[in-house]
Amino acid sequence: MKIVEVLTYYRPWVSGLTIYVERLSKALARQGHDVTVLTSQYDPNLPLYDVMDGVKIVRIPVAARVSKGVLMPGFGPMAWKLAQQADVLHLHLPQFDAPGVALRGRILHKPVVLTYHCDLQLPEGAFNRLVDRVVLSMNQLAGKLSDAVVTYTRDYGTHSPFLSQFLDEKLHIIPPPVELPDYEQADVQAFRQKHQLGNEPVVGIICRLAAEKGVEVLLKALPIVREQFPNVRVLHAGQYQNIIGEEAYAARLAPLFEKYKNHYHLLGNIEGAELSAFYNCLDCLCVPSLNSTESFGLVQIEAMQNEVPVAACALPGVRQPVTMTGMGEVTAVSDHTALAQAIINILHNKANYQRDAQLIGNTFSPNATAEAYIDLFQKLQRGKLVGQTAEPAAYDKLRAMRDKYGR
């Protein structure tokens, strides 16, 4: 099957959305499908055409930027060319260009699938509010033109204003793809030495420094945690410098990073075996996000695969990994006191929160995600357009595991 994946940013850009599409695309390619990613050349140093892990990448030059969005005059002609060759078009929202691609699919009678990863909520400001409205209208149009809409959990689908309109029409629930690179104990030892880790408890957070991630909630919780664990360390993996649109947020948090520099460590982006080693060193992972730009938190599953419990916020979708597995605690959004108590509880009783890592990993394997998408693509080709808002059976297995442990 010839599949065109369409999104604004792709690797090496690091975000949950780009990692999702990379994992899915590689899994589809491994299964013998012809996968092309159509995206922006957000960095002029990136090649216009590339092949990575069997996935073809077509990057369109950026003429101008509007907040976090990009304008690409060459996008339309290339989208038309690729759509003519494709068996299915797979769009990843939020994305300004999605309606045009979906319309091309309709004209060419090609199935169009839209995966909605999260709501777009830009920083405060009149201009960003205008951008929000424009992108929302583009999302609505793309949704109407698509044959199927996909999200990660029914929880997020029912609470998202965009997704909820498709609940009884064409909404499908597919688990997101999660995997971690192989590693050896030598990688873990090297990581511990590099960051001078001893026997102190280690709390992790992995995200780029962006306002919606709620990093300040963890920073405010840190003094409370230190009352019971004075030597606790926080390791923050993810880009924290030169992030488009987040300059003011970084400046606002800079004094707090300086204040807690002996306990809160910014690591920057880490990948490969080092990322697996990072998780292996944690006692607890935090996901303190603030709004619906976070819809799940793939990092939670990565942590759980390494037997690391999670303290997650109660946002729709984001609360689901912990709620389904019982592997952690869920706290109110933006409540640093509750987050601190959740971290303390986990650090005191880590083993009580641990679950079957293999079952969790199998549920969210990229191969399983790819197979679910192929099943959907093939049904659309045969003209079966009925929505499937019920969650997959694999989620029921996770809940059964949770109930077995009594939480």
Task: Just give the CATH number of 185-359.
Answer: 3.40.50.2000
160 DSSP 8-state letter: -
Is there a common fold for 2-177+365-396 and 185-359? yes
164 phi/psi in degrees, rounded to 5: -60, -25
pLDDT tens, N- to C-terminus, the chain (407 residues): 999 999 999 999 888 899 999 999 999 999 999 999 999 999 999 999 999 999 999 999 999 987 677 889 999 999 999 999 999 999 999 888 899 999 999 999 999 999 999 876 655 666 666 666 777 788 889 999 999 999 999 999 999 999 999 987 899 999 999 998 899 999 999 999 999 999 999 999 999 998 899 999 999 999 999 999 999 999 999 989 887 778 889 999 999 999 999 999 999 999 899 999 999 999 999 999 998 888 999 999 999 999 999 999 999 999 999 999 999 999 999 999 999 999 999 999 999 999 999 999 999 999 999 999 999 999 999 886 656 677 899 999 999 999 988 76
> pTM of the entire structure?
0.88
Domain limits, the chain: 2-177+365-396, 185-359
Strand (E) positions, 136-279?
148-151, 171-173, 202-206, 233-237, 264-268
In sequence order, what DSSP letters do the residues of 329-350 get, joined into one string? EEE-TT-HHHHHHHHHHHHH-H
Pairing of strands 49-52, 55-61: antiparallel
Domain at 2-177+365-396, CATH class: alpha beta
276 phi/psi in degrees, rounded to 5: -65, -40
pLDDT for 248 equals 87
pLDDT for 209 equals 92
pLDDT for 126 equals 67
The string of pLDDT tens digits covering residues 349-391 is 999 999 999 999 999 999 999 999 999 999 999 886 656 677 8
pLDDT for 128 equals 60
CA separation, residue 86 to residues 41, 122, 132, 349 (Å)? 21, 33, 31, 52
Find, among 327, 311, 318, the residue nearest to 222 by Cα: 311
